[in-house]
């Protein structure tokens, strides 16, 4: 059985960044990085791909080119964890041992958790930037008017702002292409508000009102009927709230019983239901019950497993109360790395992750709001940037950051362990 100083599960943003930082700090460490994929994707640009303003091919690089020098890439799948004996099992490579383990496999898409979704994705009217952003662009170009519905599930999702980003871009595209006057743009969400941080919510609410977007709160998608091109929602507002359909009935909503609402669509974009990978759900690391069931249980400050002292979680898989984004990982990885380096030296680290995350909210072609926040929805905007620009307002400079600056920083800094 091969043994490693640090074994990392997942060669996504978190796994690669942690591996690079560990190797930069101590070149003698034996580090294993487990991932079966051949390709590493820069998924934050898929919003722009879906709007026809970024080259999909440029979001991909061969996985072999991303693995840090000196790190052993194990191109395999993890099957089970055995943390009591400091080892795990893989599909082809047998058992692997470790002194410290980082669990960073991301999440999975539960396509079949939403009845009708799998079949609907095979039609030319339903798309998802999470699954195929090039198809989203095709759907937008082929759309000729009617109901353009954008929605998301009640499960946690990666980049919680992504479903509304493509909605803003689509609305702008419909205006540019002369289709807006015959289009109802509908954003239906299980949530109660457009965004959790007040400063950014004010801006987004203003955009929704100005651009005549139908904002449907407490709408949880429960079924898609692709044959009839309808999506059905369960109205999940707190008891006592009224379920009010659009008065002029422009959207042709229909109500069944007290809580089920059906909307016809001429195009539908959605984020699929998402969950922790099955091998994490079934592991000793998973939250057993409650809202976080299945996700990895960690201390929200150190990201250390709540059950095993030499195990850490990182990225989308962890159950912490903040958004699942690459920006969150940028702040999480250094904390995990410092704790592990201290542990290898028989010491302790005091570094703490404060819940930082960021959502670059693209609100149209050439416009973006940069929402930065931490635990408890406290605004946490970069003090340097805010000297020059109000990132809570739509800015052309933030669009340039999104389209050009952030991809460069990702490939040349984050993936090299330099930030």
Active site residues: 159, 359
Q: What is the C-alpha to C-alpha distance for residues 14 and 303, in angstroms, rounded to an integer?
A: 12
The dihedrals phi and psi of 347, each to the nearest 5 degrees, come to -120, -165
Q: What is the C-alpha separation between 105 and 315, in angstroms, rounded? A: 8
Cross-strand partners of 367: 364
Query: In the block, which residue shows the tokens 């159950």?
Result: 319
The single residue listed with the structure tokens 């090039």 is 134
Residue 353, token pair as written in the block:
């992750």
Distance from C-alpha of 379 to C-alpha of 299, rounded to nearest angstrom: 22
Percent helix / strand / coil, the chain, rounded to 5:
30, 25, 40
**Residue 176 DSSP SS3:** helix
Give the closest residue to 161 by CA, choosing from 150, 173, 174.
150
Q: How many residues does the chain have?
A: 419
CA–CA distance, 395 with 397 (Å, rounded to integer):
5
Closest CA to 372 of 331, 413, 316, 417: 331
Q: Whole-angstrom Cα distance, residue 309 to residue 305?
A: 6
Residue where the block lists tokens 């072999």 = 64
């Amino acid at each position: 059985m091969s043994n490693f100083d640090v074994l990392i599960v997942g060669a996504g943003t978190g796994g690669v960044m942690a591996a690079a930082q560990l190797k930069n700090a101590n070149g003698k460490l034996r580090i294993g990085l487990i991932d079966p994929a051949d390709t590493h994707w820069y998924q934050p640009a898929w919003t722009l791909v879906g709007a026809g303003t970024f080259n999909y091919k440029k979001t991909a690089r061969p996985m072999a080119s991303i693995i840090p020098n000196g790190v052993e890439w194990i191109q395999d799948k993890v099957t089970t964890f055995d943390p009591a004996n400091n080892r795990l099992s893989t599909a082809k490579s047998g058992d692997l041992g470790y002194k410290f383990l980082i669990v960073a496999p991301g999440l999975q898409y539960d396509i079949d958790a939403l009845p009708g979704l799998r079949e609907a994705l095979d039609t030319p009217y339903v798309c998802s930037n999470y699954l195929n952003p090039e198809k989203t662009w095709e759907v937008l170009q082929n759309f000729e008017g009617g109901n353009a519905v954008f929605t998301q599930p009640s499960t946690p999702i990666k980049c919680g702002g992504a479903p509304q980003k493509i909605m803003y871009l689509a609305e702008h595209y419909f205006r540019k292409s002369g289709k807006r006057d015959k289009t109802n743009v509908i954003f239906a969400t299980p949530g109660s508000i457009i965004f959790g941080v007040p400063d950014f919510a004010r801006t987004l609410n203003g955009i929704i009102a100005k651009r005549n977007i139908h904002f449907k709160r407490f709408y949880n998608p429960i079924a898609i009927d692709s044959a009839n091109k309808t999506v059905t929602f369960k109205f999940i507002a707190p008891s006592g709230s009224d379920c009010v359909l659009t008065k002029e009935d422009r959207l042709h909503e229909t109500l069944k019983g007290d809580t089920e609402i059906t909307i016809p669509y001429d195009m539908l974009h959605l984020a699929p239901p998402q969950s922790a990978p099955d091998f994490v759900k079934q592991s000793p690391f998973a939250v057993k019950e409650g809202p976080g069931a299945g996700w990895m249980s960690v201390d929200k400050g150190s990201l250390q497993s709540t059950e095993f002292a030499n195990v850490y979680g990182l990225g989308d898989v962890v159950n912490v109360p903040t958004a699942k984004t690459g920006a969150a990982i940028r702040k999480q990885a250094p904390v995990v790395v410092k704790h592990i380096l201290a542990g290898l030296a028989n010491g302790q680290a005091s570094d703490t992750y404060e819940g930082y995350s960021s959502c670059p909210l693209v609100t149209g072609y050439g416009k973006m709001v940069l929402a930065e926040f931490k635990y408890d929805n406290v605004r946490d905007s970069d003090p340097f940037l805010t000297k020059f620009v109000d990132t809570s307002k739509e800015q052309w400079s933030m669009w340039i950051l999104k389209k050009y600056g952030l991809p460069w920083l990702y490939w040349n800094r984050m993936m090299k362990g330099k930030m």
